């Protein structure tokens, strides 16, 4: 029989056994409804940011399996010892996605899901310890009924300078080249943005690219954990690599965004739009 312990900063541990389930989020009790079934409980996550859904997930403990179903409007990372040759794996959970938790420690991270002491956002970590579990695929439970009132999380202005820079910066991760030896250079970012959009916001100046990457970093990590604001040693390229990976994990831009700008650029070239579109922006 599985035994599950749910832990997190600032909250009491919750212990679940076979046949029990846990709803959790910013204000999940509404999902229990007037007829609360036996073994079904709700847990309010402390210090949640306003863009975290009232109900983000449901943990169901079966006879032989433990299933996590993600129900939130945002996304989260799940890390655990998945049954794979590489050992530990990390996956991104989106709404209605389910995952079977492995025996041992599983970590669920709500990216920028907690309000920090300075009013900014930081990651919210939940640890789920599972004992004596056989990894067998289980049926996916449907989401509880109810209207979710959730604010929009941090994001980039679509089609703006920083959005295009983020696309160019994270392109290796978006196309699956996670082992790319280095992040794109300032020159490469400028050329990619110019090729996609035609007008590149004076990104031929390296300082403009650096400014955009710093803005992306502050958004992706939150002000408190922004690596550019912390003392650092070694090459700045290492920080840029971390920013690129984090921006891809946060889905500030996506593979679908990349495919769309590629299609738009090809269409523009096919009708003879080889030159730059528009003139320089005021003050650029």
HEC states along 147-216?
CCCCCCCCCCCCCCHHHHHHHHHHHHHHCCCCCCCCCCCHHHHHHHHHHHHCCCCCCCCHHHHHHHHHHH
As annotated, the residues of the chain forming the CATH 2.60.200.20 domain(s) are 3-131
pLDDT, tens only, 202-222: 898 899 899 889 888 888 888
Average pLDDT across the chain, whole number:
80
Least confident interval from 26-30, 179-183, 191-195: 179-183
Confidence of residue 46 (pLDDT cuts 50, 70, 90): confident
Residue 67's beta-bridge partner residues? 60, 100
Interacting residues of 149 by C-beta distance below 8 A, sequence separation 6+: 54
SS3 state of residue 245: helix
Confidence check: pLDDT of 145 > 70: no
Are the C-beta atoms of residues 183 and 217 closer than 8 Å to each other?
no
pLDDT for 236 equals 57
Just give the CATH number of 3-131. Answer: 2.60.200.20
Least confident interval from 7-11, 91-95, 146-150: 146-150
Residue 109's beta-bridge partner residues? 77, 125
Percentage of residues in the chain having pLDDT higher than 90: 20
pLDDT for 152 equals 56
pLDDT for 153 equals 59
Average pLDDT over every residue of 227-249: 75
Q: Which residue has the higher pLDDT, 219 or 191?
A: 191
pLDDT for 135 equals 40
Confidence of residue 166 (pLDDT cuts 50, 70, 90): very high
């Amino acid at each position: 029989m599985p035994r599950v312990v749910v832990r997190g900063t600032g909250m009491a541990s919750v212990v679940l056994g076979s046949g029990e389930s846990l709803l959790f989020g910013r204000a999940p009790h509404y999902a229990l409804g007037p007829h609360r079934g036996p073994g079904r409980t709700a847990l309010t996550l402390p210090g949640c940011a306003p863009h975290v859904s009232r109900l983000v997930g449901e943990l169901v403990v079966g006879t032989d399996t433990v299933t996590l179903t993600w129900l939130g409007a945002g996304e989260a990372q799940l890390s655990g010892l998945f049954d794979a040759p590489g050992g530990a794996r990390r996956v991104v959970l989106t709404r209605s996605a389910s995952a079977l938790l492995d025996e041992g420690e599983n970590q669920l991270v709500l990216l920028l899901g907690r309000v920090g002491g300075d009013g900014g956002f930081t990651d919210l970590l939940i640890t789920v310890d599972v004992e004596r579990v056989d990894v067998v695929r289980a049926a996916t439970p449907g989401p509880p009924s109810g209207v979710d009132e959730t604010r929009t999380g941090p994001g980039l202005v679509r089609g703006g300078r920083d959005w295009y820079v983020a696309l160019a910066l994270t392109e290796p991760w978006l196309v699956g080249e996670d082992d790319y030896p280095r992040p794109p250079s300032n020159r490469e970012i400028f050329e990619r943005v110019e090729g996609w959009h035609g007008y590149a916001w004076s990104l031929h100046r390296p300082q403009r690219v650096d400014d955009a990457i710093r803005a992306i970093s502050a958004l992706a990590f939150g002000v408190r954990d922004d690596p550019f604001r912390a003392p650092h040693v070694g090459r700045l390229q290492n920080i840029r690599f971390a920013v690129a990976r984090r921006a891809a994990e946060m889905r500030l831009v996506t593979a679908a965004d990349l495919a769309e700008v590629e299609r738009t650029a090809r269409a523009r070239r096919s009708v003879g739009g080889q030159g730059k579109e528009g003139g320089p922006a005021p003050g650029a």
